[in-house]
Each structure stands twice: as C-alpha cells, then as structure tokens.
Structure 1
Amino acid sequence: MNILDDFITINPNGIYCKYGDFYLDPQQPVQTAIISHAHADHAVSGNKEVYCTQPTKEFMYLRYHRSAAQAFNIAGYHQPFKIKDITLTFVPAGHMLGSAMILMEYVGVSYLYTGDYKIQPDATCEPIEWVGADVLITESTFADPNIIHPNPVNEIKKLNSIKSNILLGAYGMGKSQRLIQMINQFAPQKKVLVHHKIMPINQIYERLGFKLGKYQLYGRKMMKAQDEFVYLVPPFTFNSYIKAVGVKRLFASGWNNLQVNQNDTLFISDHVDWNDILTAVEKVKPQQIWTLHGNGRHLKEHFGYNIVVKILNQTQ
C-alpha cells in the first residue's frame, strides 16, 4: 500500500487534490468543488461545477440563488461517483442536514475527509455513519483533551428554569433547527418564535422530511407579553438587541470565543470534541491521521509512534 503524502495539498483556494483536479470545500470559486455541507465557510458561491448532496444544493440555492454554481452534480449517500481515476462516496457526517464525509479511493488507498462532523444525537439531520479508511483527514477544531462538550439535553433543559421571555441567538442554518426541535422535546412549555431569516431554512428541513415541532414567525406584539416565548434570532439580530428589556439574553454556541459564561450561554456544539475524535479514529482505523482546522499537536502527542499524525496547515 502506497499512501500518497501529497494526495491533498493546501493552496490559496483551499484543499486541493491534484490526482482528481478538484477541491474539497474550497475557500474561493474553482472549476470543480466537492462540498461537504452548506455552511458558508465550506460552501462558497461561484464554483463552476459542484458535487454535493441534495440538501446542500438547496441550502446553497437559498443563500446564493443563481450564483450558487454553474452546474450541480447530486449524489446520495453511499452512491459512488468518479472524478478522473478517483472514486468518491458521500457518507453521513451528522453535522447538519445533508452534511457528508467524503471517502476518496485511489490506487488501492482510501482517504476519508470528514469536513465538519458530529457524534452527538441530532434529530434534525442524518446520523453519522462510519467507514474504514487508510487515511483519516479530520477537522481538529477542538482536538484538545481539555475540551469535552457537555450533554446538549442538559443545556437545553436550562431553559426550563427561566420563566421570562428569552432572546436566543444562534446561527440560522443547522443550529437553529436543532434548537427548535430540542426545545419542543425538552422544554415543551416554551413557545418558539423564529426570525424571518430562519423561516425559509426551516421550510427546506420540513419539506425534506425533518419535522422540527411547533414554532411560528415572530410578531412584534407577541413578546410584549410574558408567556415563556423563546425568540430565536441569527447573530446579527441578537447583537442589535443589546438593550432589549424584559427578556433573558442567551447565545447558543459551541465555540469557546462565544461562550460568555454559564448564565448567558447554551454550550451546544455541532463539532467533535477530543473524545469524539478518538472515537472516530477507533471506528475508521486509519494508518495515518491528517488534521485540518485548529491544532493537531495534541493528537500527535497522544498517538506517538502508534499512528502517523500529519498536521496540515489550514486554519479555521
């Protein structure tokens, strides 16, 4: 077996595979892009040809309209397709609806690019599935033994002790839908109101068969009454309501730099923590680990000489 050390490289456009002449989640528009999921830092507009799942295409169209891509090639999970001599397969990543890890097979060697992935249960997306690979190319945003994500159900249950109306900030795509579903399940007395920017995203989820539970479009008069409303808003709106009165302000995030304190934050992450990455290594059983996003130093120290760990130079 000959693992190609240069199977993927990093250049100003992003993560490049010269053997297939394509990019994985490019940062700039390119000729051929394989898109793992629809978050804006992974799915830019203007690519000439895009390979992705159907939900990812729909979210990209919603955000970018005609500039989403010149051409889309849609593949379902576990449906192999070829680009030049490379066989690619999308595998559910559990990160958000339509998210995919990308298995690439070339000259008898398999390389698994995780994109962003999550092991925690999430009723609003396809659960993660595992496949074996010779090389695991993993995001390492939280690859630190000191970072262990709390139980998201316990975080949502914090809302039950707050009797005033709540202004809840969260990213509109993926995070907001997960929150709506969890509030309905674990804080059912709450009445969920959503910002108008979030509604079209919810509609795609519902149309694709992922039911979120009860929610309604926010109306200005509603939150003048204290009725255990949770008004779910994107970050820009949350920041503009800094002087809002009569509400408890909370932000839902798994990012350390956005976690204010226990009283003002719901610690809910859609990324893997240290233990999750170790689980991924156990499931995939790679001969080598290549890390992207963040610092792979702790993984290198943890595995020592047992597994080759290569730190790629792309940052978040």
Structure 2
Amino acid sequence: MIADDFIYYNAIGLYCPYGDFYLDPQQPVKNAVVSHAHGDHAVSGNSDVYCTEATYRFMQIRYGKNAGKVFHLVAYHQIFTLGKVNITLISAGHMLGSAQVLMEYNGVKYLYTGDYKLQADATCAPYKFVQADVLITESTFANPETQHPDPVAEVQKMADMKINILLGAYGLGKSQRLIRMINDIIPRKKILVHHRIMPLNAVYEQMGFPLGKYELYSRKLMKNQDEYVYIVPPFTFDSYFKAVGVKRLFASGWKNLQVNEHDTLMLSDHVDWNDILQVIEQTNPQQIWTLHGDGRYLAAHFSNRIFVKMLA
C-alpha cells in the first residue's frame, strides 16, 4: 500500500520519515540524499551526504571544507539503506552526476526524479527509465504549451553570426553542454570560458566526458572579431549589459531570460510537457506527485486515470 506520508515538505525540505533522510534539503540536515550539485538542490553543511562521485566533486569545488561532514559516494544502481528504506540512484540526464532516487519501502517503489531531461547530451549519462508505483516528478515546464525546440537547431543559430558572441549560461551543466555542442556543431567557433567555469570543466574531463577545444578568456583575444564565443555565468553576463561589439545571448529554457524576442537561445536541461508524458508512460505509476512547478495541468490531463498529488 502506498504511504501518503512517505515524503512530505516541512520547514527544512522534503523529508522521508521512514528512512529519516531528506531529499535535496534546503538547510543542513543529518542525512541528505542529494540528486545533483546545483545550488538549489545541494546545500553545504550536511552531516551525512549520499550522492554520486561527480556531485561530490562539484560540491567540493563550490563549498570547500564546508561542503559536508561525511560523503557516502554511491554509484548508479548501487543499493544502500537508510532506516527502513532501500535506495538506488539512477541516472537523470540533467547534468554530470545527476540522479533520480528510487526508494523502496514495504514493497512499494517511489521514484524521485530530481531535475531531469530526455534530450541527448554528450556531457552526462542519459536518463534511464525505471518503473515505480509513485512518480515524484519535478514539474518546472509541466504545461501543454511548453515544448522545447531542437537543441541542435538552437545552437546552429550562432553559425551565421559574424560577430563575437557573449553567451550567458549557468556555470555548471549548461556551460559544459554548450562547449561540447559548439565544438560538435560549429567547430570553427573559438570558445573562451570564464575563469569560474574552468575548474568545473576539469571534473568533466577527468570523469571521461571530453568537451573539445576551449581556452580561458583573455580580454586581448576578445578585442578581435574572430568567431569567438565567450561563455560566462549569469552574474557576469548581467554585468556586461552595456557591452559593445558583441552579440549577447543567454542559453535557457525560460523565455523571460532571453535577451529579447529576436536574440534567443532556448536550450533547457529540464523536461517539457511531452517528455513528462513519455516518462509517465514508461514509469507506469499508480500515482504522480509533483513538485518544483505547477502540477495542475498533469492533474487535469490524467483526470480519473492516475491520481495526481501536488506536493509543492
């Protein structure tokens, strides 16, 4: 029987009382199962952290000695137990090291997706479909009107731009995906990288995900008009709002983060509406629990067929 209180939100985050652990807690806790290393999912200071090796490495870069007291590095498909819950990490396809969390208690399987995507990405393990009784899915873009464009076609937009490009992107995950895609799709472009992105790139390379050619940003190089693409994190991109002699683009699935309606680069690392429906079909759950977005469209779509509960 599905336990309605298997996980629920409290003041700290998403808590599982049957295993006494939190999934991606928002404040430091005793037991944290961390799906991936983005800051809205991985906070510093937890006592015991259960995550993939890549997530651990990224947290070490970002938080240093404050990353966490004890890290338990878990490979994909390796089972471990907290309290009365058996837990397995499954690749989520969101970024390097990202994981779904499959939890089994009293013969019932609960699958927490974390952030995930189905689009092809040469810089991380692909999303793996697994079946579960309860699908606990992020619903960032769970709207029938949201369909992500072809990522290759989006990157190809830069091919005909005969001006240096200032490309804003999240430093972890998105930047590395862009570096690899630009090298694969428009190899003549010369990629420059902000210094804060460089150590993150090194983890990708060390873990067997080569990104191709790129080099550390140099102001001297950028003064030349020579097919340069300078990839910078959001705070730097925003500070260059008056930059001249460059085409400004920001890579995101959110329309409101685009520079304007003409200069767009719609590249998302989350599932869109059709992707979510595909995951639900493959997972074959009895119930769907939604979080990190609006679950109303899923509830209406499945109506009397599958019970949908909105956790947040």
What interval of TM-score do these two structures reach, taking the shorter chain for normalisation? over 0.9
Match of 1:251 in 2: 250
Quote how far apart the aligned CAs of 1:184 are: 0.4
Cα deviations by residue, 1:159-193 (Å, 9 ceiling, x for unpaired)? 00101100001000000000000000111110000
Partner secondary structure for residue 213 of structure 2: coil
Match of 1:87 in 2: 86
Quote how far apart the aligned CAs of 1:263 are: 2.6
Matches of 1:252 and 1:234 in 2, distance apart?
10
Q: Sequence identity of aligned pairs in percent?
A: 65
**Structure 2 residue 290 is the aligned partner of structure 1 residue 299:** no
Matches of 1:263 and 1:53 in 2, distance apart?
39
> Which amino acid is 2:183 matched to?
N
Matches of 1:96 and 1:5 in 2, distance apart?
30
Gap change, CA 1:153 and 1:262, over 3 Å in 2: farther
Quote how far apart the aligned CAs of 1:264 are: 2.1
Match of 2:164 in 1: 165
Matches of 2:190 and 2:255 in 1, distance apart?
28
Partner secondary structure for residue 275 of structure 1: helix
Partner secondary structure for residue 221 of structure 1: helix
Quote how far apart the aligned CAs of 1:262 are: 4.3
Cα deviations by residue, 1:71-120 (Å, 9 ceiling, x for unpaired)? 00011000111111110000000000000000000001000000000000
> Which amino acid is 2:128 matched to?
E
Quote how far apart the aligned CAs of 1:60 are: 0.2
**Structure 2 residue 175 is the aligned partner of structure 1 residue 207:** no
Matches within 5 A, 1:204-283: 204-283=203-282
Matches of 1:152 and 1:292 in 2, distance apart?
25
Partner secondary structure for residue 193 of structure 1: strand
Partner secondary structure for residue 142 of structure 1: coil
Matches of 1:212 and 1:256 in 2, distance apart?
27
**Structure 2 residue 45 is the aligned partner of structure 1 residue 60:** no
Partner secondary structure for residue 280 of structure 2: helix
**Structure 2 residue 110 is the aligned partner of structure 1 residue 128:** no
Quote how far apart the aligned CAs of 1:278 are: 0.1
Quote how far apart the aligned CAs of 1:245 are: 1.2
TM-score for the superposition, normalised by structure 1 = 0.98
Using the TM superposition, name which of 239-248 and 55-64 deviates more. Answer: 239-248
Matches of 1:255 and 1:205 in 2, distance apart?
25
Match of 1:6 in 2: 5
Matches of 2:110 and 2:260 in 1, distance apart?
39
Using the TM superposition, name which of 241-250 and 57-66 deviates more. Answer: 241-250
Point out where structure 1 has 5 or more consecutive residues left out of the alignment: none
Point out where structure 2 has 5 or more consecutive residues left out of the alignment: none
Matches of 1:256 and 1:263 in 2, distance apart?
11
> Which amino acid is 2:280 matched to?
V
> Which amino acid is 2:168 matched to?
G
Matches of 2:90 and 2:172 in 1, distance apart?
20
Which consecutive aligned stretches of 4+ in structure 1 deviate over 4 angstroms post-superposition? none
RMSD: 0.7
TM-score for the superposition, normalised by structure 2 = 0.99
| Alignment check: 8 A CA contact 2:24 2:35 kept | yes
Quote how far apart the aligned CAs of 1:297 are: 0.2
Quote how far apart the aligned CAs of 1:255 are: 2.0
